[in-house]
Structure 1
């Protein structure tokens, strides 16, 4: 009798685990105004991952809309236009958030990044070096 109860309890626990949905990250797709309000970043699928590209300048860069990636340490990449440049890349869903890399064209550096949708109109965007992170909030573009 106890063997049957143990088997029934195990089966019940297994079924409960299967039927419980895993936490899924809210989609970060869309158009977002950066914290500095100088650009709109369009986030969507890029092959197997998610990326975000500079879609529009709200404040023109020093060399105008044709500004190149002059701060990039790789000379081969310094001729890329900033407009259309991926600043979020290799993002994958990880439970209730998104993990990937963020590129800062002003410094020419990229960082480990975590993005989470706080609500329908706000993204929490973190750029991290080791255990230290800087957080920004991006707002949905209208």
Structure 2
């Protein structure tokens, strides 16, 4: 490979990196779309209502119980909600855009255990979202890495 070819490839790489960075540059709606969780067991559609961001479960790897009925929110602490299907459940609520590809002040509900957690999301690249659920302060929590499936 000639020096000119190497230089052109390096320049092309710099240009592509710059374009990717500009695509993420301070876009509050960059999080909109469908995301698969880190375990690959579910997908959440993140949408906007007013100036807040929400998420709804739109796909489950195992959508039905062994008897063929839809899986329900059986672990919900509110007994009257335990018969609601998990698919379609709004499990992320009230996020606001904080700048620098970060959404804060939200809540995430885990239907596996029926618990609600404080949550923040950080877009690390156009197709990777770090979702951090925590109790109290962010230091005490867990981060799951989600991959984009469908853009808004």
**TM-score, scaled relative to structure 1:** 0.76
Partner of 2:148: 140
Cα offset, 1:136, TM superposition: 0.7
Which of the residues 32, 35, 51 maps onto 1:32? 35
* Structure 1 contact 57–65 (Cα < 8 Å) conserved: no
Asked if 1 retains the 8 angstrom alpha-carbon contact of 2:63 and 2:87, the reply is no
Whole-Å separation in 2 of the counterparts to 1:45 and 1:127: 20
Moved more, 73-82 or 24-33: 24-33
Cα distance in 1 for residues equivalent to 2:84 and 2:107: 18
Distance 1:126 1:71 in 2: 21
Where structure 2 has 5 or more consecutive residues not aligned to the other structure, the ranges are 1-24
Structure 2 residue 96 is the aligned partner of structure 1 residue 92: yes
How big is the alpha-carbon RMSD for the aligned residues of Structure 1 and Structure 2? 1.9
**Which has the larger Rg?**
1
**1:1-142 equivalence runs, <5 A:** 24=26, 26=28, 27-60=30-63, 62=65, 66-96=70-100, 97-99=102-104, 100-131=106-137, 132-141=140-149
Please give the alpha-carbon distance, in whole angstroms, between the structure 2 residues aligned to 1:24 and 1:71. Answer: 38
CA distance in 2: counterparts of 1:59 and 1:76, whole angstroms: 23
The residue aligned with 1:6 is none
Deviations 1:37-89 (A, max 9, x none): 00111111134411111111123354556111110111122121111101111
